[in-house]
Amino acid sequence: MVNVAHRGSTRLRTARFGATKVNVGRCGSMKLKPAHFGSTKVNETRFGSTKLRAARVGSVTLRTARFGATKLNVAHFGATKIVVVVQ
């Protein structure tokens, strides 16, 4: 389950690595801090796709629409779906 605030923090819970905290800005960058393999920065553009590079799970692609859902596919511990609302 992912709880998304409008301009605040988002908590992402994964089964293998425990709780992961995601700070989401409105338009700009968001920081992903996993508990197991350190911090990962996600640079999010307002339109289009964003690449996410993690140290232990390899590189994944994060595609973000301006409105609606964002799907995050992580190769090491399966797929995780993140819903991000940008207004």
Nearest to 82 by CA among 16, 21, 40: 21
Number of domains into which the chain is organized: 1
Q: How many CB atoms lie within 10 A of CB 76?
A: 12
Q: Mean pLDDT across the stretch 14-42?
A: 42
Q: Determine the residue type at 68.
A: G
**For the chain, percent of residues with pLDDT exceeding 70:** 0
Q: Mean pLDDT across the stretch 56-65?
A: 43
pTM: 0.16
Q: Mean pLDDT across the stretch 3-19?
A: 41
Q: Mean pLDDT across the stretch 5-9?
A: 41
Burial group, residue 17, by CB count within 10 angstroms (0-12, 13-18, 19+): middle
